[in-house]
A and B are shown apart, each in its own frame.
Chain A
Amino acid sequence: NAGVTQTPKFRVLKTGQSMTLLCAQDMNHEYMYWYRQDPGMGLRLIHYSVGEGTTAKGEVPDGYNVSRLKKQNFLLGLESAAPSQTSVYFCASSPTGSYATNEKLFFGSGTQLSVL
């Protein structure tokens, strides 16, 4: 019963390097999300997807790109990492995206990213 799986769990990058975080869910959920969590702050939405082949910007999209080529996978890319992107990244999914009502989010366990 995997749920939402994120890889890698930890990563250290140098400024200017690129990387891709992978999120996979096995619950056939339509909606997927990427959040970042910084000390003393709430989770902030980076990008989200309402279905295979679609993506949209969230609250803090700058410096990130995403792709949803397959329904079960949602990739988050950093093309040129900056120290300001040091954070814990969470992927989440929800069945139909009716987040305004009773639909809860299912989260991955997070990726700790440090950019030096």
Chain B
Amino acid sequence: ILNVEQSPQSLHVQEGDSTNFTCSFPSSNFYALHWYRWETAKSPEALFVMTLNGDEKKKGRISATLNTKEGYSYLYIKGSQPEDSATYLCASNTGGFKTIFGAGTRLFVKA
């Protein structure tokens, strides 16, 4: 994989549903994997930064895992709320400023 790929591109869920997205990234020369949350008309905000294979991070109802050997990360949202509606970006750094952003997964949570 040469690029960072995120799936799905968009996702519609009902309030209370749990959901997850995938970020696939180049597994060679891996340094760090970042997840950002971006609400329309606002600044993207960092959720997690992970560097080690097997890393798991959690922030409230949102958690993420990292597999650097196979080149993927999962983001999980438990009990989605309308305020979780946003675009979730992941970015992989392969050294220095060689950072590749994915196109994002846009989440819509319906009340």
> Which A residues contact B (CB, under 8 angstroms)?
3-4, 35, 40-45, 48, 56, 58, 90, 99-110
- Give Cα distance in the complex from A48 to B3, angstroms: 21
Chain B interface residue count, Cβ-Cβ cutoff 8 angstroms: 26
For B102, give its contact among A42, A105, A109 (CB under 8 Å).
A42
**A43 pairs with B89, CB closer than 8 A:** yes
Given known contacts A99-B97, A102-B51, A104-B34, is B43 in contact with A42 (CB within 8 Å)?
Answer: no
For B43, give its contact among A44, A56, A101, A107 (CB under 8 Å).
A107
Given known contacts A42-B4, A99-B93, A101-B32, is B49 in contact with A109 (CB within 8 Å)?
Answer: no
> Which B residues contact A (CB, under 8 angstroms)?
3-4, 31-32, 34, 36, 41-46, 49, 51, 89, 91, 93, 95-97, 99-104
**B97 pairs with A48, CB closer than 8 A:** yes
- Give Cα distance in the complex from A66 to B79, angstroms: 44
**A109 pairs with B89, CB closer than 8 A:** no
By a CB distance below 8 angstroms, the chain B residues around A41 are 103
Task: Please give the distance in Å from B55's CB to the nearest CB on chain A.
Answer: 11
Given known contacts A90-B44, A110-B43, is B32 in contact with A99 (CB within 8 Å)?
Answer: yes
By a CB distance below 8 angstroms, the chain B residues around A107 are 36, 43-45
Given known contacts A42-B89, A42-B101, A99-B93, is B43 in contact with A109 (CB within 8 Å)?
Answer: yes
By a CB distance below 8 angstroms, the chain B residues around A42 are 3-4, 89, 91, 100-104
A5 to B, closest residue via Cβ: B43
